[in-house]
Structure 1
Amino acid sequence: MGSHAHRHVLRGLGSNPALPAELLRPLLECKVPGRVAAHLRENLPDWLAEEFAASEHEEVLLWLAGTPNLPAEVHRALAPHPEAAVRWRLTRVADELPPDVLDVLVTDPDSQVRQFLAKYAPAGPLARLAEDPDPRIRELAPRDPELPDGLLEELATDPEARVRRAFAGHPRLPLTYLLALLADDDARTAEAAGGNPSLPVSEMARIIAAAGLGKSVE
C-alpha cells in the first residue's frame, strides 16, 4: 500500500465508530491530524482528552476545544493556547467552562474570541463584557437578564449607535433613557425605542398626535 493510500486508510480508521478509544492514541503519533472519532464526542475518556490537549496538531485541538463534557484541566490547558481559533472554539462550550477559564477568555486579546464568548457564555461574564472596548461585544450584553441597572443606563447612552440600538428595546430601560432614545440621531435606534413595550401608552398617543395622525388617546 502506497504512503498516500495508507494515510487515507488511517484517516478512515480515526472516524471508524468501531475503533476502541485506546487505539486513537497511536493516530496522534502519525501525521494524520484531527480525524478523531465523532462517536466519542459525548463520552470521550478523560485520559484521552488530556492526551489530545497535549497534541501539537491544531486540527485535533480545534475538535477537542468544541467537545462537551471535558475535564476542567483540559479547558485550562486550552484557554491560553496561542492559536485564537482554538480559543474561540472553546467558547462554544462556554456554559461548561470553570469560572477561572471564563475569566481568561473575558480578557482575551482577540476581540473575535470575546465576541464569541458573549454569544455563547452564560449570563455571568456578560456584565464584564458589557464594558468591552469593542462595540460588537457591548451590543450583546442585553442577553444578560440580570445586567446591573448602572450598566444598562450606561450602554443606553453609548457613543456607538449599534450599542444604543441594542438597548433601546430593553424592557428594564428607565423611562428617561427610553424617551431620550426616541429622539436619537440614529433613525434605527429611535425606531427600536418606539417598539419598546415599556413605552407608556400616553407617550405613544403623544407621538401619534404630534405626527398629526389623529386625536390623542385619553
Structure 2
Amino acid sequence: MHHVLCGLAANRSLPSELVDRLIAVADADIAMDLAQRADLSRAQAVALASRVEDSAVPLAYAGLLTADDVDPATRPDVALALLAEGAGRVEWTRAFAQDPVVERREKLAACPGLPPDVVEILATDPDVRVVTELASWTSPETATGLARHPHAEVRRAVAANEATPPAVLAALLSGEGLPPAQRCSVCEREQIPFTHDPRCSRPDCDLPPGASCEGSHESSTHETQRMALHHPATPTEAVLSFAGHPSLLLRWALAARPDLPPEVCARLASDPNSGVRADLAENPSIDDALVRILATDHDHAVRRRLAHNPLVPLDVLTDLARATKIGATLLPRIASASPDEVEKLAASPNPAARMLVAQRRDLSPVVRDALATDSDAKVVKSIAPHPGLSEGRLRAMLERHGVRVAAQVAANPDAPPALLEALARQAPSVPKVLRVIAGHRNASAPALLACLADARARPVAAGHAALPPSVTEELLTDADRRVVEAAAANPSLPLDVMSDLIPRP
C-alpha cells in the first residue's frame, strides 16, 4: 500500500480533495512526492509541512511556503531555505549570523542579498567554514577583501567565486601583492610537514587524498591556482606561463580556456597527457593548423573531443567520423552548418558524413526523405527519429534494414499506433524496442500490453495513459514496486479507484 500511495501522490490527475486526504495520512516518502506536485496550493503545503516536518524545507525551496508560515526559532532549517530563495526576512539574517550552530551560519553565508552588517559579521566569523562559504558567493567588494584572508581555504573559495574581479584573480594566481597565507586545512590539524595518505583509514578524516603542507600550504595554493585558471575573468596574460607548469591539473585547467594565444595552444598540443590534449581539442580557440594536427592524435579521446569542437572544419570532421567512435549525437559544427553545407553532407559519398547530418532534426523534407532511403543502416538509424517521416517511409526502413533500425523507428515521434503495434509484436521481441514503445506518446493499448513482458519496459508502460484501466488496476499489486508506483501515478486510473486506495484519516 505504501508504494501505491507514493504513486498516487505523483498522479497529476489526483483531484484536490484526494490530495487533502493523502496529506492527512502522509509519511516522509509520500510527502516528498506530494511536495513536487505542480498543483499543490499554499494551504496544502502548510498542512503537509505540519504533518511531515521533513517536507517543509523542499516546500520552502519550491516557493510554496512564505515567511508568515515559518517561525525561525523552531524551524531554522526552513527559515534558512526561505532566505536562500530570497523570501526570508532581513531580521532573520542578523539572528542567524550570531547563531551558535556553525552549520546555520554557514548556510546563511551562501544566501543572496545579505545586509552589509551581516556580511561583515560573517567575514570575521571564528569558524573558517563560514568565511569560506561567504567567499564563494559574496560580492566583488567583499571577495576583494577576503582574498587577503590569512586562511588559504578562504582564498581558494574567492578564486572560485564568479564575482571576483580580474585583478584579484591574477593576484591569487601569482601570489603577488597579497600577504602570505598563515594557515590551511592541513597544518591547522596536522604536524607539518605532512602529506595525507590517499588510503587513509581514519573515519573522522576529511582531508582530500594527497593534501599536503610543508609550511607554505602547497595543496590549498595549488587548488587556488586551479580555480583561478578555470575562472573566465582571470586575465589572459596572467595564465600564459602555466602552459609548462609541472602540475598536470594546472595545465589541464589551462587547456580549456577560450582565450589562449596560438603559441600556448601549440605547446599544450604536445602535452604528454592525453586529457590535456583532449580538452584543448574541443577548445574553439585552436587554429586550423592545430586542428589538423590533433586530428591525427593517437589517442581516441582526443579525436573524439575534436569532433565536438564547434569550429572544426567539415572535411576534418567527416574524416574523424569515419575512423572515430563519436556516438549518436548532433555535433555542434553540424548543428551550425549552412543549408548549402547540409546539402553537400547529405549527398556525400562518405556514409560517415551522411550519418552526421542525419542527426539534425530540422532538415528539409527533400534532404530528410533522401536520407531515409539511404543504403547504409547507420545513416538510416540516425535519420529514423526525424519528425515528419511518413508511415510508408518508416516501414520501408524496417523492410530494408530490419532489427538494426527498429528501435530508432520506434523512437520517431510521428510513428503511428499501428506501426508501434507491429514492432511490439515482432518475434523474437527486441527489448530495446519495447522500452522505446512503452514511453511513446502514440503507443496503443495492444502495444503497451506487449511491453509489459519486458522487465525494464514494464514500469514505463504501467504509467502510460493509454493502458487499459483494468490492467492498470491489476498492476497495483505487482511484485515490482516500480511498476506499482507507476500504475498508481497513471493519470487514467479511475477516480473511484484512487479514492478507495487512500485511507480515510
Common fold, TM-score beyond 0.5?
A: yes
User: 2: distance between equivalents of 1:166 and 1:38?
Assistant: 32
- Alpha-carbon deviation of 1:106? 2.0
Contact kept in structure 1, 2:462 and 2:483, CA below 8 Å: no
Contact kept in structure 2, 1:118 and 1:140, CA below 8 Å: yes
User: Given residue 98 of structure 1, which amino acid in structure 2 is its aligned partner?
Assistant: P
Cα-to-partner distance string for 1:45-101 (whole Å, 9 max, x where unaligned)? 24x4343233233331122112111233221122453344x322223323x113332
Percent identity between matched residues is: 24
Q: State the partner residue of 1:208.
A: none
Aligned equivalent of 1:138, options 458, 473, 481: 458
SS of 2:387 mapped into structure 1 = coil
User: 2: distance between equivalents of 1:127 and 1:198?
Assistant: 28
Q: 1:38 to 1:119 in 2, by over 3 A?
A: closer
Aligned equivalent of 1:67, options 371, 376, 386: 386
User: Given residue 125 of structure 1, which amino acid in structure 2 is its aligned partner?
Assistant: S
User: 1: distance between equivalents of 2:432 and 2:358?
Assistant: 28
Q: State the partner residue of 1:17.
A: 338
Q: State the partner residue of 2:131.
A: none
- Alpha-carbon deviation of 1:110? 0.8
Q: State the partner residue of 1:182.
A: none
1:54 aligns with 2:361: no
Q: State the partner residue of 2:315.
A: 8
1:129 aligns with 2:436: no
Q: State the partner residue of 2:487.
A: 167
User: 2: distance between equivalents of 1:53 and 1:74?
Assistant: 7
Contact kept in structure 2, 1:126 and 1:144, CA below 8 Å: no
Contact kept in structure 1, 2:421 and 2:446, CA below 8 Å: no
Cα-to-partner distance string for 1:20-67 (whole Å, 9 max, x where unaligned)? 66544541x33544122766x324224x43432332333311221121
Contact kept in structure 2, 1:142 and 1:166, CA below 8 Å: yes
For structure 2, the residue ranges without an aligned partner over 5 or more in a row are 1-294, 297-312, 320-332
Q: 1:174 to 1:106 in 2, by over 3 A?
A: farther
Aligned counterparts, 1:144-163, within 5 A: 144-163=464-483
Q: 1:97 to 1:120 in 2, by over 3 A?
A: same
Contact kept in structure 2, 1:155 and 1:167, CA below 8 Å: yes
- Alpha-carbon deviation of 1:138? 2.4
Q: How many pairs were matched up? A: 174
Cα-to-partner distance string for 1:101-140 (whole Å, 9 max, x where unaligned)? 2222222421111111111332x42453235311322222
For structure 1, the residue ranges without an aligned partner over 5 or more in a row are 176-195, 206-218
Q: 1:173 to 1:153 in 2, by over 3 A?
A: farther
Q: 1:17 to 1:56 in 2, by over 3 A?
A: same
User: 1: distance between equivalents of 2:359 and 2:467?
Assistant: 38
Aligned equivalent of 1:101, options 394, 416, 419: 419
Q: 1:18 to 1:53 in 2, by over 3 A?
A: closer
Contact kept in structure 1, 2:358 and 2:379, CA below 8 Å: no
Structure of higher RCO (CA pairs closer than 8 Å, 6+ residues apart): 2
User: 2: distance between equivalents of 1:173 and 1:156?
Assistant: 15
Q: State the partner residue of 2:46.
A: none
Q: 1:17 to 1:159 in 2, by over 3 A?
A: same
Q: TM-score, normalised by structure 1?
A: 0.60
